[in-house]
Every structure is written in C-alpha cells, then in structure tokens.
Amino acid sequence: MTLRRRYLFLLFAGIAVVAAGSIPWPAGSLSVHAEIERQMKQLLGYEVSGEDSFITFLPVPRIDFVEVAVGPDAAIGRADEVSVMLSPWSLLLGRIKVGQVVLTRPRMTWNGPVRVQELWSEAYRRTMALATTADGSAPRLPGRMMIVDGTITVPGKSRSRVQKIDATVKWPSAGRQLDITATALWRGELVDLRVDKLHPAALAAGLPSQLVLRVSAQPMSLSFAGRINPEPLPTFDGLVNFRTGSLSRAASWLDTPLTFARSAGPVSIKSSASLKSGALSMPDVRIEAAGGTLEGAMAARYNDSGRILISATLDSAALDLNRVLTPLSHSMERSAGFSAMHREKSGEPAPNDVDVRLSISRATVGPLEMQDVAAAILVSSDRTEFALNQAQLGRGTVRGRLQVAPGNGHTETRLNGVFEGIDAQKTVQQLFGLTLLSGPATGNIALTANGTTWHQLTASLDGNVSARIDKGNLIGVDLVDVIDRAARSPLATALDWQGGRTPFDTAQALLVVTRGYGQLEGAMAASGIAGRIGGGISFVDRTLDMRASIRRVAADSQPGDANAAADAIGFPIEITGSWDYPIVTPDIRALIDRSDAIAPLRLDENRHQTPAATSSP
C-alpha cells in the first residue's frame, strides 16, 4: 500500500469514526443507562426515567433521555429532554461520572412543604444528602446542572407558577462552593437570582458558611452578604440592601401586605441584619424614602397574637410626615374612609402591627413646619394611632393624638391636641392662607367623628376647639379708626374700612361642634374698644354664617350721649360664604339706619305716624 493510499485510508477511517461518534445510538439496554438513572436520582432526589435514551460520543460523550418522567408515574413532573454529559477520562478508566446535566423544558409540580421552616428543613436535608455519603467517601456530583425553559407549579396557591426558568448550578465537588445563576418569570415579572460563596460541606458539618444572595426584579431588588448558620432554623448575619421604586407595588407583587405601604413610594433600606428564630434585627438601619431619610434601629418579629410586629426607633434631620398620613387624606378623597388606611382590600385589619418612635429635627405635618418633633406611630389589629408627643411650632409647643379605630361598618376617629404660645400669624397663614391675627396663641382641640366616608365623618363631627391670644394684633383693619369714622359717616366708612392693624389685649374664641355644625362665640378686648363674634360654621357644606360687632368702650360716655348711642350699635360685620372664599362685609342695613343721610326720611316717617297716634281715643 502506497503512502498516499495510507493517508486516504486514515482520512476515511477518521471520518467514519467521527461520523459514528456523532450519531446518537440507542442506549436503553446499556449498563450506562441504569447508572445514569441512579446518579440522577441521587442528584434530584426523585426517580428519573425516559421513554428512550441515546448515547453520543462526540464531541463530548453524553446520554440524552427523551420524554422524561420525574418521580413515580411522573408525579413530580416531566421534561422534554435530559442531556447528561459524561467525563471522557472517567470512561477511559472504566467509570461513569456525570460532568453536566441539562434539563430542557422541565414541567415540575411542587407538592412539598410551603412554610419557610419546612422548606428549609427539606432543602437542608437534600443538600446534606448530596454533600455526604453513607460510607464517608466523596460523592459523585456533576460539575454543572442547567435548566432551560423550565416551569414549576405549586397547586392550590394563587399566582404560584414560576415560568421560563433558565438556571445554571455550579458545584464542582462537595468540598467546594455552590453557585447559582438563574432567571425566571414570576407573577408577571422577570426575576434575576444569584447565589455565591455557599459551602454546603460547612453546613453539613454544622459550621457557618459565607453567602452572597442577590434577587432583582422590576418591583424590587434585594442583596445579602454575610454568613448563614445551619439547622434547626437558618440564622443569617450580614449586610442587607433593599430597594424599590414603589413599596406598594413590591408588597403586592410579593403578596405580603405591609401597613402604610401605599404611602411610602420609593424606598431604600440598608443595614447590618440578623435573622434568628423568625426574628429580624437591624441595629443600624438607614431608610431613604420620598419623605426623607431616617436612621436608627428596626426589628420585626411575631407578637403574642401571632401577628408580625414591626418596631423601630428612628431619627431624621428632615421628614415629611404627610407621607405617613397620606392614606388618611386619600381615603377621604376617594370616599373610602379612614378605614382604607387601616384595612386592606380583603376587609381584614391592618396586616402588621407597628410601633415606630420618631425623633425629627424638622418635620412637615400638613402645611405646618415643626421643629424638635417627638412622635410615635402605633398600629394594632383594632386601632391606628399617630401621637405627636412634643413639637415646637415657632416659639410655641404642640401636642396631639389622632386615633382611628375601625368597627363594624364604621370608623371612630378621635383628634385631641394642645397648643401653647404658637405664632398665630404664621400658623393661620400656613393652614388657611390668610393673614388675620398675630400674637402667641394657646388652646386645645377635642373632636370625634364616626363614619367611613368624608360626608359621614363631617356629619357626625362632635367636640370643641378653643383658642386665646394675648397681646396680639388684628391685621388688615384699624378698628379704632373705623369706629371713629363710623360714628361720623357710617356709609362712607363701610366703603373704605380696611387697612392697618388693631392691637388688642386679649382675643378668645370657643367653637362647639354638634353633628357637623359648629357654634362660634368669641370676644376681643383692646384699648378703648371691644368686639364680639358669633354664628355658625357648617363642616358638611363648608359654609360660614357669622356676625361680628366692634364697639367703643369709654369710661366717660353717658347713656344719653349721641356718640354713646352710636357706640351701642358699633360697627357690625357679616361673614358669610364658603370656607375657601369667605365674604367679609359691613352690615350695610344697620349702618344705613345710623346714617345722617336718611335722617329726613326718618323725620318724614315720624310726621306721618304722629296724626295716627294723636287721633286715637
């Protein structure tokens, strides 16, 4: 045989070998088939059997199982194909070692435990079974297992299907670390999962293991870097970083209702954390939210009633408390009532108990800017409470308590507060956008209401509000000048009575509210003048119907004096209209009766009345 023919022979022989090695050969009757099924059962914990199997030697030896059933009678699930890559060096030595497993389109049904403790026990048991063998020898593990387009279904649970699972599990040997990289579609969102630095062998020996966990999806992202300790329940110690663009969306996606989640908006939480026996502790938490940044300590645990209690002691340089109170205003605007804050869509009470203590350097409550605020937020199964234990408002102090207690078909709301020495001008300006009074104000508020809508709450409003200002000013009118001019020219004064200010010694008012309608009584004392105000305020219609009168008080005035008679009438003022657009005008009819311009008309009227009077017997 010539050299050329030898080369051609070797070429064709090589081609034949490659072709033969690349062609799938039936392997159902080979011993390698049974050995692979045994190792797959050890790996997955369930029996794995295929209708057919084929072995291919090139480019890498592998066995492909088609129409695979997992578990007895496919009780766990099925897969279109399971490809098992074999170690070529082990084959040369006469041993079968799985190098890589690829599950294509597995459709699994999880009938195991769903509680966290039971899930951990099951996962720990199976991991330990893989990490150790009965005779103490090194277990045979595939270096890599891959899942392509998998699906896992949990029967009986809503939104419990995990789809489009693409995962890679790397575990070269029992003594080395386990790494997992996966993506999946869960509850309509694509989730990325990564687990690094986990050492199952350390856990099997009862020792802690490092763990780096990252979970990322559109609603939220979570990362943990620290240590995990094994049974009976896992203990985690490390750094936690949680981010979400909407806490409400994240809580809904996780199917984990959280109190006040709807008002939180974007939230970022960073802290060292410890999870032990179902209790979470964050000793140095930093919370960044739309309302501000808080720092302190936070914990979560199950209380005696079996509900989750979230407790925290937090400090903040600046915080918008309206983000916490937003559910109150939103519930009123939507006619859902205060109970919307306290109850979820299911009608059940607030999902979590909350006990949060706040210390804030500068806080916003409604339109008010407060300093040195000490507050508390308490939520239980039957009550929600916001307590303003102490706060500075200008040079004064404010204390208050808002309680919301849902009942059967209604909500009981109580508001109690005390204010001392606050700046009346700044406070009224911030609350109502009006500049009316100045001076230090002191008073109290005690209001109650029942209902589940804004109309019901206002219609059932009862209580009282009182206020007193000492050494203040009435801004926008000089009442002393108005009284003097009104005595001379009442009608002309009515056309031009605003401008200036009136210093006063005291001004006080009492508003008594009964079933949504308030009666106001007030008085003012100043140098040489006195004023009174009274009338009604409708909380249902948001309207005003009040009368005020300003009179001169002179020690030397005599009852028969004309000026004294004018002062007895004083300068009357009517306050009507809506809360948003009040109408403040002098009482023109009363001023007309006093005007000298109609004196001839009164004289003529008297002349016509005199004959009738004298002709009577």
Question: Is the predicted pLDDT of residue 347 greater than 70, yes or no?
Answer: no
End-to-end C-alpha distance for the chain, whole angstroms: 169
Q: What is the greatest pairwise CA distance in the chain?
A: 169
Q: Which of 178, 182, 162 is nearest to 170 (CA)?
A: 178
What single letter denotes the amino acid at residue 354? V
Residue ranges per structural domain of the chain: 461-607
Alpha helices, DSSP H, located in 422-536: 424-432, 454-459, 479-488, 490-495
Place of tokens 């490659």: 18
Cis before 406 (ω within 30): no
Cα 518 to Cα 197, 310, 327, 447, 458, distances in angstroms: 68, 40, 27, 11, 11
Question: Is the predicted pLDDT of residue 617 greater than 70, yes or no?
Answer: no
DSSP letters spanning 510-560 = EEEEETTEEEEEEEEEETTEEEEEEEEEETTTTEEEEEEEEEE--TT--TT
Question: Is the predicted pLDDT of residue 517 greater than 90, yes or no?
Answer: yes
What single letter denotes the amino acid at residue 455? H
pLDDT band at 7 (very low <50, low <70, confident <90, very high): low
Q: Residues with Cβ < 8 Å from 286, sequence gap 6 or more?
A: 269, 270, 271, 293, 294, 295
Question: Is the predicted pLDDT of residue 333 greater than 50, yes or no?
Answer: no
pLDDT attached to residue 415: 93
Question: Is the predicted pLDDT of residue 499 greater than 90, yes or no?
Answer: no
DSSP letters spanning 121-146 = HHHHHHHHHHH--TTSPPP---SEEE
Question: Is the predicted pLDDT of residue 141 greater than 80, yes or no?
Answer: no
∠ CA 387-391-396, nearest 5°, is 135
The most confident of 130-134, 299-303, 492-496, 596-600, by mean pLDDT: 299-303
pLDDT attached to residue 356: 92
pLDDT attached to residue 616: 42
On whether the CB atoms of residues 538 and 517 are closer than 8 A, the answer is yes
Instruction: Tell me how far apart the alpha carbons of residues 476 and 435 are, in angstroms, rounded to a whole number.
Output: 8
Q: Which of 150, 161, 222, 154 is nearest to 192 (CA)?
A: 222
Residue 466 DSSP class: E
Instruction: Tell me how far apart the alpha carbons of residues 481 and 485 are, in angstroms, rounded to a whole number.
Output: 6
pLDDT band at 361 (very low <50, low <70, confident <90, very high): very high
The most confident of 227-231, 284-288, 435-439, 455-459, by mean pLDDT: 284-288
pLDDT tens digits, one per residue of 466-491 = 999 999 888 888 778 777 777 777 66
CA 306 from chain centre, in angstroms, equals 22
pLDDT > 90: percent of the chain: 27
Question: Is the predicted pLDDT of residue 73 greater than 60, yes or no?
Answer: yes
Classify residue 539 as left (phi > 0), alpha (psi -120 to 50) or beta: alpha
* Window from 140-149, 293-302, 377-386 with minimum mean pLDDT: 140-149
Question: Is the predicted pLDDT of residue 543 greater than 80, yes or no?
Answer: yes
The residue ranking higher by pLDDT, 571 or 339, is: 571
Please classify residue 468 by burial: count the beta carbons closer than 10 Å to its beta carbon, then call 0-12 exposed, 13-18 middle and 19+ buried.
middle
Average pLDDT over residues 87-104: 74
DSSP letters spanning 207-242 = --EEEEEEEE-SSEEEEEEEEEE-SSS-EEEEEEEE
On whether the CB atoms of residues 217 and 189 are closer than 8 A, the answer is yes
Q: Which of 370, 470, 391, 364 is nearest to 424 (CA)?
A: 470
Q: Which of 425, 529, 531 is nearest to 472 (CA)?
A: 425
* Window from 48-62, 213-227, 289-303, 602-616 with minimum mean pLDDT: 602-616
On whether the CB atoms of residues 47 and 76 are closer than 8 A, the answer is no
Question: Is the predicted pLDDT of residue 192 greater than 90, yes or no?
Answer: yes
Question: Is the predicted pLDDT of residue 221 greater than 90, yes or no?
Answer: yes
Residue 347 DSSP class: S
Instruction: Tell me how far apart the alpha carbons of residues 196 and 211 are, in angstroms, rounded to a whole number.
Output: 6
Question: Is the predicted pLDDT of residue 277 greater than 90, yes or no?
Answer: no
Mean of all residue pLDDT scores within the chain: 79
∠ CA 585-588-591, nearest 5°, is 120
pLDDT attached to residue 320: 86
Q: What is the 3-state secondary structure (H, E, C) of 371-425?
A: EEEEEEEEECCCCEEEEEEEEEECCEEEEEEEEEEECCCCEEEEEEEEEEEEEHH
